[in-house]
Amino acid sequence: MPTANRTSTPPPRWAVLAAYAVPLCVLPSAIWRVTLLTGGTVGMTAEGTYLIVLSAGSVGLALLTLGLVHDWGERIPRWVPGLGGRAVPVRAAAIPAFVGAGVIIAICLYALLNMTFHFVHRGPVLVGPRESDLPRPEPGRGVLACYVPLLAWGPLLLAVALSYVRRRRAVVRRTTGAGTRPAVRRTVR
């Protein structure tokens, strides 16, 4: 990675690998959802549109994780009108990453608990059809294999975001002298 535009130290190798693993964790489930459209079980209805938007959105959000280890996550690219070349505030990248990681972990935890204890889908947030209302058979082990990698998305994003904050704040402390004790001047009376 070029270092001319960096506003921090280069990311550790594990953080780069973790950031690249995030889209790979999301891809199998996105591909499976899109194949539902071509397999004939779901047509281009509202449900089909939802599956396409969900797949594209999840892959797009997963790709944003790469910004936490690349220059464009630290400095806005020059081609962006009006903002190009400015440093990305640490909070502007870190807060959405932490919130996203928390939401993803909560959703995955709910899904795991739901698979184990078979919660009933009722309420304003987690509304969904009952199993008997679904016109298609229950997904098999192949579908489970596509969704298991999603369990790593939240923890990987959280780890990469923590690394991003540490790297960016370390440079701010070094350049501004924050975190160091000021020299005490003694005056003689």
Average pLDDT over residues 78-88: 89
Residue 170 or residue 71, greater confidence: 71
Nearest to 71 by CA among 4, 157, 15: 4
Provide the token pair at 13. Answer: 């190798």
Domain coordinates of the chain in residue numbers? 13-130+140-174
Please tell me the predicted confidence (pLDDT) of residue 134. Answer: 47
Q: Does the pLDDT at position 129 exceed 60?
A: no
What's the per-residue H, E or C state across the chain? Answer: CCCCCCCCCCCCHHHHHHHHHHHHHHHHHHHHHHHHHHCCCCCCCHHHHHHHHHHHHHHHHHHHHHHHCCHHHCECCCCCCCCCCCECCHHHHHHHHHHHHHHHHHHHHHHHHHHHHCCCCCCCCCCCCCHHHCCCCCCCHHHHHHHHHHHHHHHHHHHHHHHHHHHHHHHHHHHHCCCCCCCCCCCCC
Burial grade of 127 (CB within 10 A; 0-12, 13-18, 19 or more): exposed
Please tell me the predicted confidence (pLDDT) of residue 183. Answer: 44
Q: Phi and psi dihedrals of 61, rounded to 5?
A: -65, -40
Provide the token pair at 177. Answer: 């002298």
Residue 40 or residue 170, greater confidence: 170
* Cα torsion angle, 119, 24, 64, 73, sign: positive
CA distance 164 to 106: 22
Please tell me the predicted confidence (pLDDT) of residue 153. Answer: 96
Amino acid at 40: G
Buried b (16+ CB within 10 A) or exposed e, 147-157: bebbbbbbebb
Average pLDDT over residues 75-100: 92
Please tell me the predicted confidence (pLDDT) of residue 70. Answer: 94
Please tell me the predicted confidence (pLDDT) of residue 37. Answer: 80
Q: Does the pLDDT at position 38 exceed 80?
A: no
Q: Does the pLDDT at position 125 exceed 60?
A: no
Q: Does the pLDDT at position 50 exceed 90?
A: no
Look over the chain and give the mean of its residue pLDDT values, rounded to a whole number: 81
Q: Does the pLDDT at position 98 exceed 50?
A: yes
Query: What is the pTM assigned to this prediction?
Result: 0.76
Please tell me the predicted confidence (pLDDT) of residue 48. Answer: 81
